[in-house]
A and B are shown apart, each in its own frame.
Chain A
Amino acid sequence: MTDRSLLRAIGWYRAPVIAVGLLASLLFFVPFLVVVATSWTSGSFILFPPTGFSLQWYETVLTDRQWLNSFWLSIVVAVIATAAAVVLGTLGALGLTRVRSRALQRWVRTLFIAPIALPPIAYAVGLWSVDRQLPFLDDTLVSLVLGETLLAVPYVFALVSSALAGGDPSLRPAASTLGASWPMILWRIELPPLLPSILGGTLFAFTVVFDEVVLSVLLLPPGTQTLPLKMFTASQEAFSPELTAASTMVSLLAIVVLGGAQLVSNRRNRAARLRRKASA
């Protein structure tokens, strides 16, 4: 799949461009490898290079109540917030195609993307202030889940909206002419081709929420911690190999799950392309 036209256009600059790209990729690889390496130390401090090899810190993390509880709390918050964000983001993207005024369309689009630009700490202070005004929200996860949902909506919206833009605009009027009601058109005509992007948005939103730490800093009830918050406080209190062992495990989990999803969707796309070629 080399791109001949681009290669020719770039000429002899190709080698230096690739060299700089590879150097830049070290910015991604090296910090991760250092985290992984320090986690298998047999000593009790984070040291690079690690001294000896042992999996003792993995055992410590996996048998520690606090680490496990924070992991499950993160999963629960991320599942609820992601589900809400997927529904709201998809509805928003579909709804936008029904707005006829161009100006209104632009404003709605801007609104749906805006949470990406929202500084999380300032937003967290806002949600925290709501909790102070409404004491019954204290000691609940309501404001945290609400906030995480808002931060996740733009990613779903962006993916679904760009898939909608690539769809066939004449399907809906055709179905409507044939007498289908709009909920039926939505369910049978519009949603099926969007499924891959909705799934992509779900994964993206889940990663964003699962990793988000700033809202948890201010909004979690005392005594509870999400995984990133547990990591954050641990890094400020005791910088021990426990921390890098936990980091390694959660990263590997993410790589396996998201990498698997990527492989499946690549294979689907390839199969779909082949089918299209065969029918053409």
Chain B
Amino acid sequence: MSTTTGELAPPERAAPADRHEPGRNRAEARWLLWPPLAFFVVALGVPLAALVIRALDNETGDNSFAAALTMPVFLDSLARTVVMALVVTALTVLLGTVYATAVAVSPGWLKFLLVAALLLSLWTSIMVRTFGWMLLELPRGAIFWLGDLLGLMDEPLGVYQTALAMYPAMVAVMLPFAVLPIASALAAIDREQLNAAAVFGSGPLLTFRAVIRPAITPAMISGGVLVFVMALGFYVTPLLLGGPTNMTVSGIISGQLRTAGRPDLGAAMSILLVGGTIAIYLVADRLFKVSEKWG
């Protein structure tokens, strides 16, 4: 899995022979590309169309989109989600850069420890990791136990089921997605440039500004965009840690179906969420070539 993501793929060259054999080329492209494209139409296109139909199919005759956009609960959750995603993205990219650098410059056994921590996080389920944070943040949970032991805390911890409770868990869940691309960008820096900087007497700060930062910025951006769009759609972690009064958009949507019995509103909110997220992804993709860094 160490070769996962961020390799900067050089643009593929069209093989020269293809140009002389257009017929053969077309047959190949058809056989290879059409099955997955057909699958995308069925698995992605049809559900999105069903969302639109469901949102417009409203017994009361109101416009579900207008209804959703005037619901204070929805608007609150939208603001909460965007703020959470922005803060989590900023923290994750910052910490991810330091973490990736730490992996690169650690001596043997420390490097092993840092990589093992990353892999542990990637391999255990988000559900399990969220349970861990619940147990830490409960009023008399593990953090309180430690604080009590050190004589720092005598009141039970009040963070569980508040908006603040989501943040550390979200950062922990998202961190690998920022670390992996940045680590492979760091590994790809031209060592001669670093040597040259050192030979000409550049200190660590100048080398970072002039050589390292420009080389890892694309990876930081594509990692950040990915973390941001994933954080917008996160469901389990905010729901379990933030509790029913601090729901993110995902929690509100599932509430419309599971408890409120308003699938049309849920569908309208889903379209708004999908539309917003995909729009952000597409714009970021055009600007920063995110998906090319991912494949």
Contact = CB atoms under 8 A, between A and B. Distances in A.
Contacts of A157: 295
A118 interface: yes
A202 to B, nearest CB: 12
Interface stretch (B58-66, B67-75, B123-131): B123-131
Nearest to A177: B17
B203 A91 contact: no
A132 interface: yes
Given A92-B33, A121-B250, A173-B16, 12 more contacts: A5-B192, A9-B197, A17-B98, A21-B102, A21-B114, A31-B172, A95-B33, A112-B291, A113-B291, A122-B270, A197-B3, A244-B135
Given A122-B51, A176-B21, A251 B33 contact: no
Contacts of A218: 254, 257-258
B120 A255 contact: yes
Interface of B: 1-5, 7, 9-18, 21, 24-25, 27-29, 32-37, 39-40, 42-44, 46-48, 50-51, 53-54, 95, 98-99, 101-108, 110, 113-114, 117-129, 131-136, 141-142, 145, 168-169, 171-172, 175, 186, 189, 191-192, 194-195, 197-198, 203-204, 207-208, 211-212, 226, 229-230, 232-233, 235-236, 240, 249-250, 253-254, 257-258, 263, 266-267, 269-271, 273-274, 277-278, 280-282, 285, 290-292, 294-295
A253 B280 CA distance: 37
Contacts of B172: 27-28, 31
Contact of B28 (A10, A28, A182): A182
18 contacts: A5-B194, A5-B195, A10-B105, A17-B98, A18-B102, A27-B168, A28-B120, A28-B175, A99-B33, A113-B294, A117-B277, A121-B253, A125-B267, A128-B257, A129-B53, A154-B295, A162-B9, A231-B127
Nearest to A210: B125
Contacts of A247: 125, 127-128, 131
Residue from the set A17, A99, A250 with the largest chain B CB neighbour count within 10 Å:
A17
Nearest to A255: B123
Interface in A124-139: 125-130, 132-133
Interface in A24-51: 24-25, 27-35, 38, 46, 48-49
Given A89-B36, A119-B250, A13 B136 contact: no
Contact of B212 (A9, A94, A161, A169): A9
A132 B14 CA distance: 45
A125 B253 contact: yes
Contacts of B211: 9
A203 interface: yes
Residue from the set B44, B54, B197, B229 with the largest chain A CB neighbour count within 10 Å:
B44
Contacts of B270: 119, 121-123, 125-126
A176 B17 contact: yes
Interface stretch (A59-67, A145-153, A270-278): A145-153
A238 interface: no
A119 B238 CA distance: 14
A213 B105 contact: no
Contacts of B51: 122, 125-126, 129
Chain A interface SS verdict (over half): helix
A129 B54 contact: yes
Interface residues of A, number: 122
Contacts of A280: none
A79 interface: no
Contact of B278 (A21, A117, A177): A117
A93 interface: yes
A272 B106 CA distance: 26
Contacts of A48: 135, 141-142, 145
B72 to A, nearest CB: 20
Contact of A88 (B36, B121, B232, B290): B36
Contacts of B194: 5-6, 8-9
Residue from the set A9, A17, A29, A232 with the largest chain B CB neighbour count within 10 Å:
A9
A214 B230 CA distance: 13
Nearest to A217: B254
A224 B36 CA distance: 29
A76 interface: no
B98 A20 contact: yes
